[in-house]
Amino acid sequence: MGSFQPPTPLGRDPQEAIRQHLHIVGSPNGPSIFNLETLHVLRARRRLNYQVHHVTVKNTEGEPQQFWFLVCRLPDDSWLVIRWIGFPPNSQRLPPVRGDLPTLSFSAGTVIGEERSAALLMRARGEIWKLQLYLRTTPGGAEKALALEKTLQERLEAVAEAERGQEAWKVLQEVQELAPQELAGEELWNPLHYCYVFGEVVANGLAIVRVRLLSANGVILEDTVEDGLVVFLSNQPLVPPVQAELYDRAGELVKSQTVFQMSVG
């Protein structure tokens, strides 16, 4: 069983991390299908350790494509793409907005739920690789990263193929204490986060400045709107239905809407 190959390299800043990621996904078997010189950031939500970038880039046919990237800062100040979504050329990015009230549209989200073993294994190995990547930025972390890879391989080889997805997640949860904690007041990326969600507030002319998510299991998440974008991270599962509350500058609730009726993943 071969070792997991990293899905994307690090960047010195968010845009370099995005460029690196686009280079890899755009050139799986040859030259890149993207002209990275045309990469342009349309909007961004910039938190200290997490940023959402809505970008456009032209392919080799000259057609513009849109992408959303969630990037995170590691302790050595490098950046890593942890979630992304792309749209085909000339596609409609979001559903049409009807009515005169503001709307929250999520363009991507991940809530860990039941998954088939192969998909679960792929996701778990990706998260473990990110943890190994983080460890290599810390003193003595290279040895811990190698030991984690060895443990994972041994555990996966000891179980049936159909059980490897669950086994990989068990390994990930057992090494939770190795995950980063906090940097300058904001939580760092954690591979055991149940949920990374980023979205767009279509304000319809109203000044929506804050969005709150309320999960059926009592989890409450908040973010400030920047450039029409919000990002939420949780180390607890979000149990549907999940309600979103949109607030204006006066702190008044303008609209409440259901954003998740079922788990997304």
Condensed to tens digits (0 to 9), the pLDDT of residues 117-145 reads: 666 677 778 778 878 888 888 888 889 88
Length of the chain: 265
Q: Is the pLDDT of residue 77 over 50?
A: yes
* pLDDT value of residue 38: 94
* pLDDT value of residue 186: 60
Q: Is the pLDDT of residue 2 over 80?
A: no
Q: Is the pLDDT of residue 4 over 50?
A: no
* pLDDT value of residue 112: 37
Q: Which fold has domain 103-112+194-260?
A: Immunoglobulin-like (2.60.40)
pTM of structure: 0.68
Give the residue, 49 or 157, on which the prediction is more confident.
Answer: 157
Give the residue, 252 or 101, on which the prediction is more confident.
Answer: 252
Continuous segment of H or E residues that includes residue 22: helix 14-26
Q: What is the CATH number of domain 14-87?
A: 3.10.450.630
Q: Is the pLDDT of residue 169 over 90?
A: no
Q: Say which residue the tokens 């960047």 belong to.
A: 11
Give the residue, 262 or 114, on which the prediction is more confident.
Answer: 262
Give the residue, 102 or 130, on which the prediction is more confident.
Answer: 130
State pLDDT tens for residues 18-69. 998 898 887 766 677 889 999 999 999 998 888 999 999 998 889 898 898 9
**Residue 207 to residue 83: CA distance in whole angstroms:** 28
Q: Say which residue the tokens 């969005």 belong to.
A: 211
Mean pLDDT value across residues 244-256: 90
User: Contact at 8 Å (CB) between 81 and 70?
Assistant: yes
Helix, strand, coil percent values for the chain (each to nearest 5): 25, 35, 40
Q: Is the pLDDT of residue 3 over 50?
A: no
In terms of Cβ atoms closer than 10 Å to its own Cβ (0-12, 13-18, 19+), residue 122 is middle
